[in-house]
Chain A
Amino acid sequence: MNAPTKKLKVATTSLAGCFGCHMSFLDIDERLFTLLDYIEFDRSPLTDIKHCSPDCDIGIIEGGLCNAENVHVLREFRKNCKVLIAIGACAINGGLPAQRNHLPLTTILEEVYHTSPGLANGMIPNDPELPLPLDKVHPIHEVVKIDYFIPGCPPSGDAIWKVLTDLLAGREPELGHGLMHYD
């Protein structure tokens, strides 16, 4: 690959995720330097930039949607990024957080804040600063259009590298045996 004249702006975030996919992203190790010849980071936990620039090229999103804040962030990404990539099991199918989906939210909040043993005068937090939880956890493709997916929990650094380099080279990303996994 030849270094481009203009670097692609990449934003990343973790919604209802564990940052494991971001950790895995860092696992591409020294290839990060190569990558940085082609991209620059915009909004991301790596830069601590709080909002997306309006001209981001790629948004990488870890985690599903479990509350209102997640929805706002996802919408910001969709609005400002030309291409959105869902990374990891939670972004793709809700993952671990979505395993609450068979329970009514009211039951969950009741149990967590009222009826669990050891709670004294528990009350459900109602501070307007706190985002309200959605009744179900949703994968992000159910709320905005997602262009590419990198499955895995987390996807390996190699898988992330493969998809990104495929994209940078203008190829349809493909993960062969060994790189493609859902766990």
Chain B
Amino acid sequence: MALNDMHAEAVAGIVDRVVTRYRRDPTCMVQILREVQEACDWIPPEAIDRMQALLGVPRTKIEGVAGFYSFFYTQPRGKYRVLFSDNITDRMLGNKAMMDRLCSSLWVERGKVSEDGLVSIGKTACTGMCDQGPAMLVNNYAVAGLTATRIDEIAELIRGKVPLAEWPAEYFRIEDNIRRADILLGSDLKPGDALLAARARAPSDGLMASNMRSWREGLPTGLSGPISMLDEIKRANLRGRGGAGFTTALKWEACRNAPLKAGLQRIVVCNADEGEPGTFKDRVLLAKYADLVFEGMTVAAYAVGATRGFVYLRGEYRYMLDHLNAVLAHRRRENLLGNNILGIPGADFDLEIHVGAGAYVCGEESALIESLEGKRGTPRNRPPFPVTNGYLDQPTIVNNVETFAAAALIALNGGEWYAGIGTKHSAGTKILSVSGDCERPGLYEYPFGVSIRQVLEDCGAKDTQAVQVSGPSGICVAADEFDRIIGFEDIPTAGAFTVFNNTRDMFQVARNYVHFFQHESCGFCTPCRVGTSLLKNLMDKLHNGAGSPYDFTEIEKLNQLLQSMSHCGLGHTACNPVLDTIAKFRPAYEKRMMQQDFTPAFDLDRALAAARQMTGRDDPAAHIITEESGEGA
């Protein structure tokens, strides 16, 4: 019997326990599946039987959800499920050698399960450890800073079937690597202070009465407390830190003003699905400044009149779950969450953490909400927008981790103070996740307006060829643009800052990113589902030496189509890395257009290999030579 076979009764017992803890609530489907898998090592059909019975939802729904997320397995995987992070930075740090070493040491083929069911080894998208790669996930727990020695030790532990909990703790140590701190990373906020400040800022006149009625009933107008908080956010000119840069106060105000049907409530969601390759700031904010983030969420709840909140934590950060829950428990004990927060009657707000399961697209706010509702993470048709029809059709704000952290500081210090930091159009600071070719990778927090050149100097980057700002969906900045600045008026960013020195091949960088988008496309709309695959195939064709000017034209046409026809930002931006690198590093592409004329994407001679093997032939006619060598009439 394979290691991961369990008796049906045992599986049912596990499902019962998990489903009960989630109150038999089908909206918790993703959490239920995750916990069932953590206990069973995969999601066996018997578990789905039981979930179907207990949750009262059709099997198709459970299988549809389980099939969507990369980290859920409906086929048996290893007892130890190893996934190597495959961001470009992991590649630059030699992740392939690490993976090959582990595969050969454990006698397992990449992507497969070992025959005894002990281990499976595969690749996954960026795990957010770019400053300390190469990195891997073992049963969704992050291990960073891999070395050959560490790989050998891990192989030994797996061979010895040592439970993950008994592995040396230092394997799982994740560094913060804070290199430059400003208001956020230097914050020493005492939990509760921002809330007290927000409350104190309300006009004292009739404070308790008006203020608290608003929170409890979600009334939109005429209430000075929350309104004055909103005013501070407005004054601060805070804009979303997830990349798009939407004005936070507008979003909050729209949510606050959205009509609320009886029995419903407003929702605050923190988007900690930090999936953009090269970004890892939210990991550190949550690891080290969780109180600041939660306090920001509570401030937001106060401002919009929300009573329920969620943190959507990416599956790769599963290891932080216990810590975050402990912080939440502490805040409840301190009366910073729960009912009558800080003793204010009617000030009710609590939040819970939902863990994702390997789907970049869930960083898109409406896909994130779908996932929170226990569904496939497919972006919704908009309008309506989440601020009016979000989580379970309730008015919902979704903001980035860093946005909430900033909101807490604005509550504490006021909007004017915040607006005084940064530039005219970009208030405040921005945390950059610096990785790649530099001496000191890690987090750098700067007031907006810092130049690319300055950051490169600070992080010890030499001979820099390019910087990918804001990840694959952002922009690729070449050396002649290093005086450009980080800010909404020039280069907006969600935080990734990936440095490439002049030994790097920018075509391979773009190809890695194209593979990423292809893997992460949700498959909902035709242009992105098929287009990202076609784009990937074309980039691979160039890589394989079969590219010609024809393919180059095809790539450009596909880019155009993805941009104009896709359903969401994933498709719209999937071609950015290619467009940018074509524009700025064209020689890297020209080098690859090795063919004058159209050439097939597949190797014709290799297409005969199976027939050669079956017939035992190897005569000249059993081969198709390439055209340059004089093939033809």
Chains A and B share a contact (CB less than 8 Å): yes
Residues of chain A with a CB closer than 8 A to B601's CB:
142
Min CB gap B544→A, angstroms = 15
Contact between B607 and A135, CB atoms less than 8 A apart: yes
In the complex, 13 of the A-B residue pairs with CB atoms within 8 angstroms, ordered by the A residue number, are A52-B633, A54-B633, A68-B624, A104-B610, A124-B614, A126-B617, A128-B619, A128-B621, A132-B612, A132-B621, A132-B622, A144-B598, A145-B597
Min CB gap B74→A, angstroms = 22
Closest to B598 in A: A145
B39 in contact (CB, < 8 A)? no
Point out the residue from B602, B609, B614 that lies within 8 Å of A109, measured CB to CB: B614
Residues of chain B with a CB closer than 8 A to A45's CB:
none
Min CB gap B536→A, angstroms = 16
Q: How far is the CA of A43 from the CA of B612 in the complex (A)?
A: 30
Point out the residue from B550, B611, B627, B632 that lies within 8 Å of A132, measured CB to CB: B611
Chain A positions 43-87 with a Cβ under 8 Å from a chain B Cβ: 51-52, 54, 68, 71-72, 75-76, 79-80
B613 in contact (CB, < 8 A)? yes
Min CB gap A141→B, angstroms = 9
Q: How far is the CA of A144 from the CA of B601 in the complex (A)?
A: 10
Residues of chain A with a CB closer than 8 A to B610's CB:
104-106, 135
Point out the residue from A54, A104, A126, A143 that lies within 8 Å of B616, measured CB to CB: A126
Contact between B614 and A76, CB atoms less than 8 A apart: no
Min CB gap A103→B, angstroms = 11
The 3 lowest CB-CB distance pairs between A and B, nearest first, are: A132-B611, A126-B615, A145-B598
Residues of chain A with a CB closer than 8 A to B611's CB:
105, 109, 132-135
Contact between B550 and A145, CB atoms less than 8 A apart: yes
Chain A positions 134-158 with a Cβ under 8 Å from a chain B Cβ: 134-136, 138, 142-145
Q: How far is the CA of A142 from the CA of B614 in the complex (A)?
A: 25
A-B contacts besides A68-B622, A71-B624, 12 pairs, CB < 8 Å: A68-B608, A79-B633, A80-B633, A104-B610, A106-B613, A124-B615, A132-B612, A132-B621, A134-B607, A138-B602, A142-B602, A143-B600
The winner among B550, B597, B607, B619 for most chain A CB atoms within 10 A is: B607
Residues of chain B with a CB closer than 8 A to A129's CB:
621
Residues of chain A with a CB closer than 8 A to B617's CB:
126, 128, 132
Is the contact region of chain A dominated by helix, strand, or loop, or is it mixed?
mixed
Residues of chain A with a CB closer than 8 A to B627's CB:
75
B631 in contact (CB, < 8 A)? yes
Residues of chain A with a CB closer than 8 A to B598's CB:
144-145
A122 in contact (CB, < 8 A)? no
Residues of chain B with a CB closer than 8 A to A68's CB:
608, 621-622, 624
Chain B positions 258-286 with a Cβ under 8 Å from a chain A Cβ: none
Number of interface residues of B (CB under 8 A): 26
Min CB gap A24→B, angstroms = 27
B604 in contact (CB, < 8 A)? yes
Q: How far is the CA of A80 from the CA of B621 in the complex (A)?
A: 22
Q: List A residues at the B interface (Cβ < 8 Å).
A: 51-52, 54, 68, 71-72, 75-76, 79-80, 104-106, 109-110, 124-126, 128-129, 131-136, 138, 142-145
Point out the residue from B550, B604, B633 that lies within 8 Å of A143, measured CB to CB: B604
Q: How far is the CA of A142 from the CA of B604 in the complex (A)?
A: 11
Residues of chain A with a CB closer than 8 A to B622's CB:
68, 128, 132
Residues of chain B with a CB closer than 8 A to A54's CB:
633
Min CB gap B628→A, angstroms = 12
Q: How far is the CA of A9 from the CA of B609 in the complex (A)?
A: 37
Q: How far is the CA of A125 from the CA of B617 in the complex (A)?
A: 10
Q: How far is the CA of A136 from the CA of B606 in the complex (A)?
A: 11
Min CB gap B520→A, angstroms = 26
Residues of chain A with a CB closer than 8 A to B631's CB:
72, 75
Contact between B607 and A136, CB atoms less than 8 A apart: yes
Closest to A144 in B: B598
Min CB gap B121→A, angstroms = 25
Residues of chain B with a CB closer than 8 A to A135's CB:
607-611
Q: How far is the CA of A134 from the CA of B610 in the complex (A)?
A: 8
Point out the residue from A75, A110, A143 that lies within 8 Å of B632, measured CB to CB: A75
Contact between A142 and B600, CB atoms less than 8 A apart: yes
Closest to B613 in A: A106
Residues of chain B with a CB closer than 8 A to A143's CB:
600, 604
Known A143-B600, A145-B597; contact A134-B614, beta-carbon cutoff 8 A = no
Convert B574-617 into 0s and 1s, putting 1 for each residue whose CB lies closer than 8 angstroms to a CB of A: 00000000000000000000000110111010011111111111
Q: How far is the CA of A79 from the CA of B613 in the complex (A)?
A: 30
Q: How far is the CA of A109 from the CA of B608 in the complex (A)?
A: 13
Min CB gap A40→B, angstroms = 19
Residues of chain B with a CB closer than 8 A to A132's CB:
608, 611-612, 615, 617, 621-622
Chain B positions 533-569 with a Cβ under 8 Å from a chain A Cβ: 550
Q: How far is the CA of A102 from the CA of B553 in the complex (A)?
A: 30
Min CB gap A11→B, angstroms = 11
Min CB gap B547→A, angstroms = 14
Closest to A105 in B: B610
Residues of chain B with a CB closer than 8 A to A142's CB:
600-602
Closest to B550 in A: A145
Min CB gap A57→B, angstroms = 16
Min CB gap A91→B, angstroms = 15
Q: How far is the CA of A142 from the CA of B624 in the complex (A)?
A: 16
Known A128-B621, A132-B608; contact A76-B633, beta-carbon cutoff 8 A = yes
Q: How far is the CA of A71 from the CA of B615 in the complex (A)?
A: 19
Residues of chain A with a CB closer than 8 A to B616's CB:
126
Q: How far is the CA of A49 from the CA of B270 in the complex (A)?
A: 73
Q: How far is the CA of A128 from the CA of B598 in the complex (A)?
A: 29
Point out the residue from A52, A71, A76, A109 that lies within 8 Å of B604, measured CB to CB: A71
Contact between B613 and A76, CB atoms less than 8 A apart: no
Min CB gap A114→B, angstroms = 10
Q: How far is the CA of A75 from the CA of B633 in the complex (A)?
A: 8
